[in-house]
Homo-oligomer: A and B are copies of this chain.
Amino acid sequence: MEVLEERIKKDGIVKPGNVLKVDSFLNHQMDPFLFKEMGKEWKARFHGTNISKILTIEASGIGIACVAALCFGLPVVFAKKSIDVPLDDSVYTTKVDSFTKNKCFDVSVSKKYLKEGDKVLIIDDFLANGCAVYGLKDLIEQAGAELMGVGIVIEKGFQEGGKKIREDGIRLESLAIIDSMDPETGEIKFRH
């Protein structure tokens, strides 16, 4: 998605350790007009797919998913992160390792809002090792719902998440795929 790649080149900052800071427009300060363009792009790419609900994970996925949901005309649910919270039988829970935060979270969603028959599109900001996607997939499977696809803003193509998801036969639509980035020069190479 050209407008997104241009924005990443203009405002993204490459840091050592394969970290890309896009907090000026994506995950701290947020540009809702860019989110609307992203939502329209996913809507076009998933055209013909029968989706009934969007699922994301707090915190930075929420704004993106909400604006995308407006474009799709669908409700959104966000999975909640918690550390050391006692389990509760009103929720489905799974564990997710965070690449950027180097932490393991319990992630949960209410049984009331993820159910058998739901046809779910996962939306998230970043895809690196795929842990968040597989965590959300696990919640969807626990609920007896169906995973229809995954929409990602920025896929780190040099990490294994995207490859694994595609090999598992899951429809993945990443709006920008980064093949390499150089913290010395700041250069970012996109896959096309």
Interface residues of A (CB under 8 A from B): 23-25, 28-33, 35-36, 58-59, 62-67, 69-70, 73, 75-78, 80, 109-110, 112-113
Q: Tell me if A's interface is mostly helix, strand, loop or mixed.
A: mixed
Mind listing 6 A-B residue pairs with CB under 8 Å?
A24-B113, A28-B78, A58-B58, A59-B62, A59-B78, A66-B66
Q: Are A24 and B112 touching (Cβ within 8 A)?
A: yes
Q: Are B66 and A23 touching (Cβ within 8 A)?
A: no
Interchain CA distance A62-B77 in the complex, whole Å: 13
Q: Are B110 and A23 touching (Cβ within 8 A)?
A: yes
Which residues in B have their C-beta under 8 angstroms from that of A76?
Answer: 29-30, 32, 63
A125, chain B: closest CB distance, angstroms: 12
Q: Whose C-beta in chain B lies nearest to the C-beta of A112?
A: B24
Interchain CA distance A109-B143 in the complex, whole Å: 36
How many copies of this protein are present in the complex?
Answer: 2
A23-B110, A35-B70, A62-B63 given; name 10 further pairs at CB < 8 Å.
A23-B112, A23-B113, A24-B113, A28-B109, A29-B76, A30-B77, A58-B62, A59-B59, A62-B62, A63-B76
Interchain CA distance A98-B33 in the complex, whole Å: 31
Q: Are A70 and B32 touching (Cβ within 8 A)?
A: yes
A26, chain B: closest CB distance, angstroms: 11
Q: Are B78 and A36 touching (Cβ within 8 A)?
A: no
Q: Are B113 and A77 touching (Cβ within 8 A)?
A: no
Q: Whose C-beta in chain B lies nearest to the C-beta of A35?
A: B66
A69, chain B: closest CB distance, angstroms: 4
A81, chain B: closest CB distance, angstroms: 8
Top 4 nearest A-B pairs by Cβ distance? A63-B66, A58-B59, A29-B113, A62-B62
Q: Whose C-beta in chain B lies nearest to the C-beta of A76?
A: B30
Q: Are A29 and B63 touching (Cβ within 8 A)?
A: no
Interchain CA distance A146-B96 in the complex, whole Å: 39
